[in-house]
Chain A
Amino acid sequence: MITTKTPSEIIKMRDAGAVVRDTLLMIEEYIKPGVTTKELDMKIEEFIRKAGAVPSFKNYNGFPASSCISIDEVVVHGIPSDRELKSGEIVSVDVGAILKGFHGDAARTFEVGEVDEDKRKLIEVTKQSFFEGIRQARDGRRLGDIGHAIQEYCESRGYGVVREMAGHGIGRHMHEDPIIPNYGVAGMGVPIKKGYTLAIEPMITLGNPAIRINRYDGWTCSTADGKPSAHYENTILITGDEPEILTL
């Protein structure tokens, strides 16, 4: 069931979104060669808890950390470890927080040191595809319009759009209906209505969009061909006009 948020719920969603936004702004300063992903995760958890919120990823279906930190070919759900960041890598940080019973969810891909042109372009296209997608996220449009806009923007530039993972509704639960694929047919799917809060998250790869999930941890999702991938996510609120981005 897709839930429409009331004005008082929207205020709480804005507060939760602000915590996630501030966490991502804070962690950007720590992304340097030599730092381990576990250290970054600890900083994220500390920051979220200091803000009075709870990291929503921790123990979510058994996920062992407060954030997903995915390096290069890891698309999403990278588990923080003792692995050090190296110059030339791209790292995506996905953060979620619960404040006053409501969730905020966002992700960014950062550059570590000096990265090559291909990776820089990948990050840029991923970010821009999100904005192309939310241009369609208006009252009266359909979910297929969002997916189609993202797919069209990325595939016309030669990038791959991951099919197996998708965006989602968000609110009292992190994953609510509807599922929002980053591909689709314009004019198809569930109608978008005012008051919906959605997490839209294009996951774009430099090569083939096929992915595989690590069979040992059950989480780490990497590209099958080992090529880099980027992720950009924000929680948005559907209004009568332009959507409001709650985590930016």
Chain B
Amino acid sequence: MCEKNDKIKVGNIVVSLKGHDTGRRYLVVCETDENFVLVCDGEYRKLDNPKQKRKKHLKFDSESPIECNDALNDSILRKLLKK
């Protein structure tokens, strides 16, 4: 059974396309429903205060997924997003 080629999913890096944060890179940390995800960048939006974004206002940016586990913190996230 094939998978939907929908890359806005947990662990992927995305870029904001709409809003005051246009162009900012984020990590998707949670999928709240069919249309929304929670995103963080470790700087403007820390892991304990994620931002809700509509999926269609985001663009997939990197093909290297990041594991969202306990070891991930804001400082690591900032470094990962800078790459």
Point out residues on A near B: beta carbons under 8 Å: 1-2, 56-57, 60, 63, 68, 76-77, 94, 96, 105, 143, 163-168, 174-175, 177-179, 181, 188-190, 199, 201, 203, 233
* Leading 3 A-B pairs by shortest Cβ distance: A166-B5, A168-B3, A165-B2
How far, in Å, is B73 (CB) from chain A's closest CB? Answer: 17
Q: Of B1, B63, B65, which one neighbours A174 at CB under 8 angstroms? A: B1
Contact (A105, B63) CB under 8 Å given A1-B11, A177-B11, A179-B7 = no
Is A189 a contact partner of B2 (Cβ separation < 8 A)? no
Q: Is the CB of A164 within 8 A of B1?
A: no
Give the shortest distance, in Å, between A123 (CB) and chain B (any CB).
Answer: 17
Contact of A189 among B4, B11, B63, B67 (CB under 8 A): B63
Q: Is the CB of B3 within 8 A of A167?
A: yes
Please tell me if the beta carbons of B1 and A68 are within 8 angstroms of each other in the complex.
yes
Count residues of B near A (Cβ-Cβ below 8 Å).
11
Instruction: Evaluate contact between B2 and A167: CB separation under 8 angstroms.
Output: yes
Do B63 and A178 have beta carbons less than 8 Å apart? Answer: yes
Kindly state whether residue B64 has any CB partner on chain A within 8 Å: yes
Chain B residues with CB below 8 A from A233, complex form: 2
11 contacts between A and B (CB under 8 A): A1-B11, A1-B67, A60-B1, A63-B1, A68-B1, A76-B1, A94-B1, A164-B5, A177-B11, A178-B65, A233-B2
The distance in angstroms between the C-alpha atoms of A105 and B1, with both chains bound, is 7
- CA A177 to CA B64, docked complex, whole Å: 10
Which residues does B use to contact A, with CB under 8 Å?
1-5, 7, 11, 63-65, 67
Task: Give min CB distance, A92 to chain B, whole Å.
Answer: 11
Q: How far is the CA of A233 from the CA of B67 in the complex (A)?
A: 27
**Which of the residues B1, B7, B65, B67 comes within 8 Å of A96, measured between beta carbons?**
B1
Separation of A1 and B67 alpha carbons in the complex (Å): 6
Q: Are A163 and B1 in contact (CB under 8 A)?
A: no
Q: Is the CB of B64 within 8 A of A190?
A: yes
Partner of B65 from the list A2, A94, A167 (CB cut-off 8 Å) is A2
CA distance A94 to B65 in the complex (A): 27
State A130–B3 Cα separation when bound (angstroms): 17
Q: Which residues of B contact A56 (CB under 8 A)?
A: 1
**Interface pair B5/A179, CB less than 8 Å apart:** yes
Q: Which residues of A contact B11 (CB under 8 A)?
A: 1, 177
**B2 in contact with A201 (CB, 8 Å):** yes
How many Å lie between the Cα of A233 and that of B1 in the bound state?
9
Once the chains are docked, how many angstroms separate the CA of A142 from the CA of B1?
23
Give complex CA distance A203, B7 in Å. Answer: 19
